Amino acid sequence: PLEEAEMSPMARSFYGDSKRVRNDRIKGELGVTLRYPGYREGLAAILEGRGIAIDRAIAIIVPAEEIVRRISGRRTCSKCAAMYHVAFEPPQKPGVCDKCGGELYQRDDDAEDTVRNRLKVYDATTRPVLDYYRGESLLAEVEGTGRPEDVEERILNVLDGLVPARARVRAAKHK
């Protein structure tokens, strides 16, 4: 977990706040030349080098407020790391782990302000990638709310014809 990873305080703050370092800053301050100017070019080159083509890109669409509710409601046991959710899977006694009696806490990266910041970063960094795949007619947008089984079925429908039949059978067995 992030809390236990070995990293400098600066690196920890970047991960915790979902910060990124722009390519031009890396080039300017470190004096390096990046092989690829951006994500799209880098991914395209890697895939081409392996003989892989992208047939479909999937974006699972969930409203921002639902994302905030899902993530900021998570709680973790301080002793055994069991996971709970205040709305979807609450412990029997608020703030206390059902398994070991440990105290439940909210991780820093699950705090509402942090989640909202991560969504801003997502909009700034990932939306352009989605726009690219949309422009290439490769993007399939899947509604990501509802029961997990329903979302899975929507994804499999988008992949129909792309996923081998045995994978669909395997997914059906896990329901």
pLDDT of 114: 92
Report residue 29's pLDDT band, with 50, 70 and 90 as the boundaries.
confident
At which residue do the structure tokens 């003989």 appear?
51
* Residue 47 pLDDT exceeds 70: yes
117-156, pLDDT tens digit by residue? 999 988 888 888 899 899 989 999 999 999 999 999 999 9
* Average pLDDT value over all residues in the chain: 84
Question: Hey, what are 36's tokens?
Answer: 């690829």
pLDDT greater at residue 43 or residue 86? 86
d(CA 21, CA 23): 7
Whether residue 20 has pLDDT greater than 80: no
Instruction: Supply the pLDDT for residue 132.
Output: 87
Written as six digits, the tokens of 70 are 């899902």
What is the tens place of the pLDDT at every residue in 56-76?
899 999 999 999 999 999 999
Local confidence band at 106 (pLDDT 50, 70, 90 cut-offs): very high
What pLDDT sits at residue 54? 85
Bridge partners (DSSP) of residue 143 are 61
Residue 140 near residue 58 (C-beta atoms within 8 A): yes
Residue count of the chain, please give it: 175
pLDDT value of position 12: 66
Mean pLDDT, to the nearest integer, of 77-83?
Answer: 96
Looking at the DSSP bridge assignments, the partners of residue 173 are none
Mapped to the 3 state alphabet, what secondary structure does 2-37 carry? HHHCCCCHHHHHHHHCCCCCCHHHHHHHHCCCCCCC
Q: What percent of the chain has pLDDT over 70?
A: 80
Other Cβ atoms within 10 Å of 31 Cβ, number: 7
Determine the Cα–Cα distance for residues 133 and 68; give it in Å rounded to an integer: 26
Ranked by mean pLDDT, the top range of 19-23, 47-51, 158-162 is: 47-51
- Cα–Cα–Cα angle for 133, 138, 143, rounded to 5 degrees: 90
Interhelix angle 127-135/39-49, nearest 10 degrees: 60
Distances (CA, A) of 159 to 74, 83, 113, 156, 167: 30, 31, 35, 5, 11
How high is the pLDDT of residue 104? 97
